[in-house]
Structure 1
Amino acid sequence: MAIKITCINKDNGNHENPNLAITHLGWINDADNSKGKNTRLEIYNWIKNDGGYGYVEKNGNKVKVITAETASGTKYLKTEADSTTINNLLSLPEC
Structure 2
Amino acid sequence: MANCHVTCITKPNVNSPHEHITHVGNPAWTMKRLTVEDVIQRINSRMDTFYVADQFGNQAMIGVVNPGAGRRPFIRTYADGKWTDNLLALDQCRLY
For the aligned pair, the TM-score class normalised by the smaller chain equals 0.7 to 0.9
The residue type paired with residue 2 of structure 1 is: N
Q: Secondary structure at the match of 1:8?
A: strand
Structure ranking higher in strand proportion: 1
Q: Where does residue 11 of structure 2 map in the other structure?
A: 10
Corresponding residue of 1:22:
21
Using the size of structure 2 for normalisation, the TM-score is 0.74
CA distance in structure 2 between the aligned counterparts of 1:7 and 1:44, rounded to whole angstroms = 16
Are 1:42 and 2:38 matched, yes or no?
yes
Q: CA deviation at 1:75?
A: 1.5
Deviation, structure 1 residue 73? 3.3
The 1-side partners of 2:10 and 2:24 are apart by: 6
The aligned residue for residue 52 of structure 1 is 48
Stretches (4+) displaced over 6 A? none
What's the offset of the Cα at 1:74?
0.3
Could you say what secondary structure the match of 2:43 adopts? helix
Q: Distance in 1 between matches of 2:34 and 2:61?
A: 17
Identity of aligned residues (%): 28
Distance 1:23-1:64 versus aligned 2 partners, 3 A rule: same
Q: 1:81 to 1:34 in 2, by over 3 A?
A: closer
Partner of 1:93: 91
Structure 2 distance, partners of 1:90, 1:82, is: 18
The one-letter amino acid of 2:78's match is: E
Unaligned runs of 5+ in 1: 13-17
In the alignment, which of 41, 57, 64 is matched to residue 61 of structure 2?
Answer: 64
Gaps of 5+ in 2: none
